[in-house]
Structure 1
Amino acid sequence: MSVLVEFAIFPTDKGDSVSKHVSKVIDLIRNSGVPYQLTAMGTLVETATLPEALDILNRSYQVLEKDSKRVYITMNMDIQKDKNNRLKTKVEAIENKIGAVNK
């Protein structure tokens, strides 16, 4: 099973720049060992199970809620059985199609 999660999480009570706080979440994800991709607007994570994905979201919240009165989270999920490594293969599939069109 492949659970892709795209999410953004940040405190809303820390001013204009929250990168110091978000970096703590990214450190948690990095140390979890799951594949992830940091983007300018959020983070993509791939886990093998839904509980594992939800655990990462919960732990990410716990990192921020210690020092924040308000935390904002957006999330999208794509769950597909009998698949894995989609964080990489979905992007490769599009890049291959772009390459075929440009030939």
Structure 2
Amino acid sequence: MLIAFTLTPVGVGESFPDEIADAVEIIRASGLPYRSDSMYTMIEGEWEEVMDVVRRATEAVAARAPRVQLVLKADVWPGRPGGLLDGKIGAFERHLADRGQ
């Protein structure tokens, strides 16, 4: 399973590095494959372990902010072995290369 999610603390001003840093520490400590960019963090793993990380990261932000918005998107692919995080991007890059782009 691959989860893409974003957490936005509400009511803490326009900059919130400490609130997000707490969530990132939880994600890193999970040991699950992950990738973050300017809009989302993607985590790969089994349902229970991925959702546990999302829950704990959300709770960490909620401990510092009066309100938290969570946006979550999931690619649930039963029976699929790991490697979705890099595999999907790699497959797309190979497709582009085959087209000469």
Give the TM-score category using the shorter length.
Answer: over 0.9
Q: What residue number does 2:25 align with?
A: 27
Q: What residue number does 2:89 align with?
A: 91
Residue 53 of structure 2 aligns to which amino acid in structure 1? I
Residue 50 of structure 1 aligns to which amino acid in structure 2? W
* Unaligned residue ranges in structure 1 (runs of 5+): none
Aligned residues: CA RMSD: 1.2
Q: What residue number does 1:102 align with?
A: 100
Return the alpha-carbon distance in structure 2 between the equivalents of residues 93 and 52 of structure 1: 26
Deviations 1:19-67 (A, max 9, x none): 23112211110111000000100100001x2111211111011111112
Return the alpha-carbon distance in structure 2 between the equivalents of residues 22 and 10 of structure 1: 8
TM-score of the superposed pair, with normalisation by structure 1: 0.90
Return the alpha-carbon distance in structure 1 between the equivalents of residues 50 and 30 of structure 2: 11
Return the alpha-carbon distance in structure 2 between the equivalents of residues 42 and 7 of structure 1: 5
* Unaligned residue ranges in structure 2 (runs of 5+): none
Return the alpha-carbon distance in structure 1 between the equivalents of residues 55 and 40 of structure 2: 16
Number of aligned residues: 100
Residue 60 of structure 1 aligns to which amino acid in structure 2? A
- Structure 1 segments of 4+ aligned residues over 3 angstroms from their partners: none
Partner of 2:14, secondary structure, is coil
Return the alpha-carbon distance in structure 2 between the equivalents of residues 69 and 55 of structure 1: 21
Return the alpha-carbon distance in structure 1 between the equivalents of residues 17 and 39 of structure 2: 11
Residue 51 of structure 1 aligns to which amino acid in structure 2? E
Q: Is the 8 A contact 2:7 2:58 kept in 1?
A: yes
